[in-house]
């Protein structure tokens, strides 16, 4: 279980770095939403998560725990209890092609200098994938040591396991890797690494808003296109949201479920909330449960 949690945190560090986005304005603010109607016999729930933060900032809302208690299954973006997925995660952070072989000598020297700000160097990272480089961004942006990092998904997963809930995922690691590769080339990653300080500031402002369940402010913070352009938004958010919204109805029809996905996936015209509403479901924010 310890290794599973470590892999999960590493993966979520990557996801956090690559799923910040610019969304349209949404008047309803809550981290928990109830899904009813359209033939469902029981309510299901969606909770927007903040993938990683320091333990001092971490707070699990009672209403989210209640939603998990009322649900028969717990659904994450990826099923971290699946050994095959854990093996795939390990492979995701390694590459058969060295980073230095993909860059000119000048570009390699530049990356080596950038990596010193992250406490490492190109020699140490040369056999790593672009996804491993992205993980460095979150590691630096979160102002606490790894043993003090908390993850909403993994905390909820442990509770779900303890209570013998069925656990599943909305996508496979392979699907996520395909999306990442569509969105980001190595040079895109290097540009993101250069903005390490900006990510740190952004992360702290977003945590403050998230703790207040102010998703409107969270969305506003990420409207700067330096963090995600249209191509990246389509690959990392829009396309994945549409895929998930196609899978969720069947899951909800079988059993009541709590879906836990990054908060950036909920809002906007291509967010899960509007996609499910377009399918005929009633999706409403919950102030308590």
When pLDDT is averaged across residues 25-54 and rounded to a whole number, the result is 87
Torsion angle defined by CA atoms of residues 6, 262, 132 and 150, in that order, rounded to the nearest 10 degrees: -30
- Note whether residue 269 is domain-resident: yes
Q: What is the pLDDT of residues 262-284, one digit of tens each?
A: 888 888 888 999 999 999 999 99
- Note whether residue 123 is domain-resident: no
pTM of the model: 0.87
- Note whether residue 45 is domain-resident: yes
Centre a 10 Å sphere on the Cβ of residue 27 and count the other Cβ atoms it contains: 6
- Note whether residue 117 is domain-resident: no
Identify whether the C-beta of residue 122 lies closer than 8 Å to the C-beta of residue 202: no
- Cα of first residue to Cα of last residue in the chain, in angstroms, is 30
- Note whether residue 99 is domain-resident: no
- Note whether residue 111 is domain-resident: no
- Note whether residue 142 is domain-resident: yes
Q: Which residue has the higher pLDDT, 51 or 1?
A: 51
- Domain residue limits at 252: 2-94+129-285
- Note whether residue 144 is domain-resident: yes
Q: State which H helix or E strand residue 282 sits in.
A: strand 282-285
The total of structural domains in the chain comes to 1
User: pLDDT > 70: what percent of the chain?
Assistant: 88
């Amino acid at each position: 279980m310890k290794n599973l949690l470590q892999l999960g945190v590493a993966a979520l560090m990557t996801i956090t770095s690559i799923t910040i986005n610019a969304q349209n304005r949404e008047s309803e603010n809550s981290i928990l939403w109830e899904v009813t109607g359209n033939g469902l016999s029981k309510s299901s729930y969606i909770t927007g998560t903040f993938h990683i933060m320091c333990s001092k900032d971490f707070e699990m809302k009672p209403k989210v725990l209640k939603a998990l208690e009322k649900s028969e299954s717990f659904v994450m973006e990826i099923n971290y209890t699946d050994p095959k997925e854990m093996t795939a995660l390990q492979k995701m952070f390694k590459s058969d092609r060295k980073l230095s072989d993909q860059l000119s000598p000048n570009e390699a020297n530049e990356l080596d200098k950038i990596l010193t700000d992250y406490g490492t160097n190109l020699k140490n990272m040369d056999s790593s994938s672009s996804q491993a480089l992205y993980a460095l961004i979150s590691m630096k942006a979160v102002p606490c040591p790894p043993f003090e990092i908390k993850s909403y998904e993994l905390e909820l997963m442990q509770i779900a396991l303890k209570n013998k809930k069925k656990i599943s995922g909305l996508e496979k690691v392979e699907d996520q890797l395909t999306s990442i590769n569509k969105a980001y080339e190595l040079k895109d990653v290097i540009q993101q690494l250069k903005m390490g300080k900006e990510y740190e500031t952004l992360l702290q402002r977003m945590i403050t808003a998230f703790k207040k369940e102010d998703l409107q402010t969270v969305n506003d913070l990420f409207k700067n296109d330096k963090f995600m352009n249209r191509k990246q938004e389509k690959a990392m958010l829009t396309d994945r949201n549409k895929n998930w919204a196609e899978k969720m109805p069947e899951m909800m029809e079988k059993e009541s479920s709590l879906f836990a996905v990054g908060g950036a996936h909920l809002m906007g015209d291509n967010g899960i909330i509007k996609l499910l509403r377009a399918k005929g479901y009633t999706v409403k924010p919950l102030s308590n449960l």
